[in-house]
Structure 1
Amino acid sequence: MLRAAPAKKPSKNREKLMAAARRLFAGQGYAATGTEDIVREAGVTRGALYHQFADKRDLFRAVLEEMLPEIGRRLFEETMARIESDREDLQVGCRVLLGIYADPEVRRLFLIEGPAVLGLAEWKALQAPLSSLFLNHALQHLVDEGTLNPAEMEPVADLLAGALQQAGLGIAGAADPDAARERYAAGLDLMIDGLMKRR
């Protein structure tokens, strides 16, 4: 029997459940974490959990949705701190994002558990708005300076988004995430360098 959609209104219980689930999912993984573990960690009842979330998967998705703005802020702030001109936005931003992907919590929750729990299609759709915002902003600088034609912007953004997703999955599955990050960053540099040299 399908459970009715929950009332997803802000509440202290929701905040407690989100914080507890995030800690447990990051520490021991989605499969090893039961709803009883989450409610015990949060200090709430099972009824409180099911009032806020349809099930464990729904709670997990909410944790990823909470992480996305955090990743976006970190991407923006670290990129802006490193660039000297708008032209560097794309290359530096891609490197910053790969660095974020190598962060243990992001790697575990967003890159390892995310596709496994949600499925690849839903995982890609979840992160698409953040990816589009970053890439469209960075590529617009290249359009403004005449390096990129406006009609080329959408397909280039789609291709770079796919490359970044593949890099993230590669970092997630690597025995040495930092070394994998550097390999993928070097590959992205080659792609972006070719684009930048068109001017």
Structure 2
Amino acid sequence: MTPPIESPGEAKPRAKRPSKNRVKLLEVARKLFGEKGYAETGTEEIVAAAGITRGALYYQFADKEDLFRAVFEEMLAECGQEIFEKTMKGIEHDREDLHVGTQVMLDIFSRPEVKRILLLDGPVVMGWADWREVQRPFHLALIGHALEHLVDEGLIPDQPLEPLADVISGAAMQAALAIANAQDPAAARKIYGESLAQLLRRLAGPSNM
């Protein structure tokens, strides 16, 4: 599974350090969006909790939706890094990337703050098409390389992997959404997690995952 970050040895321009106000706004907004939801969180509450003026908020972000998107993208990147790290610790062979990684993703996306921002409010605030498009590079990075391992070992036919990665990410995200909206998330996590595992076992053969 490929990490959703650049290789440590890859030269890249030094990123400009974000301002203290921006960092504080992201921190406070993330907490409030995660606890109360986007609709129930006002900009006045955000700036009061951050200890800054409304002018400072609008200097950093165009509006509340722009702030939410920044929180969303920051959280998505953090989740991707955590999924990669936990997957690498949880496998003994590269062929296990896909199965372990998707199960780790379901666990992380089941956390209350992550579930609220990435799964429940994300599609509503950003719109379904934009929500999917923002996540697509994240899923292609985490799933695409895992599929390359399966091709290299002859466990699946050599084929264009991007469409297959899209299909698998769609199945994984549908499982995550079903868990997020379930009355009993723990029971749903077990059911949908096993369904996803069965799907991926059939992809590479029952004896290989």
TM-score, normalising length from structure 2? Answer: 0.88
Residue 197 (str. 1) matches residue 201 (str. 2): no
- State TM-score, norm by structure 1: 0.92
Which stretches of structure 1, 4 residues or longer, exceed 3 Å deviation after superposition? none
| Equivalent residue, structure 1, for 2:22 | 14
C-alpha RMSD of matched pairs (Å) = 1.6
Q: What is the correspondence of 1:30-45 to structure 2 with a 5 Å cutoff? A: 30-45=38-53
- 2:145 counterpart letter in structure 1: H
The aligned residue for residue 25 of structure 1 is: 33
Kindly, what percent of the aligned residue pairs are identical? 54
Cross-structure match for 1:103: 111
CA contact (8 A) 2:140 2:162 kept: no
Where does residue 90 of structure 1 map in the other structure?
98
Distance in 1, matches of 2:109 and 2:54, equals 33
* Structure whose residues are more often helix by fraction: 1
Q: For 2:142, which of 105, 114, 134 is the aligned residue?
A: 134
Higher relative contact order (CA 8 A, sep 6+): 2
Question: Does 2:68 match 1:60?
Answer: yes
Is the 8 Å Cα contact of residues 76 and 118 (structure 2) preserved in structure 1?
no
Measure the CA separation in 2 of the matches of 1:11 and 1:102. 31
Q: Does 1:116 align with 2:127?
A: no
Shift of 1:44: 0.4
* Aligned residue-pair number: 192
Question: Which SS does the other structure have where 2:183 is aligned?
Answer: coil
Does the CA-based 8 Å contact 1:9-1:52 persist in structure 2?
no
Shift of 1:146: 1.2
Q: Where in structure 1 are there 5+ consecutive unaligned residues? A: 1-7
Alpha-carbon distance in structure 2 between the residues aligned to 1:164 and 1:94: 7
Gaps of 5+ in 2: 1-15
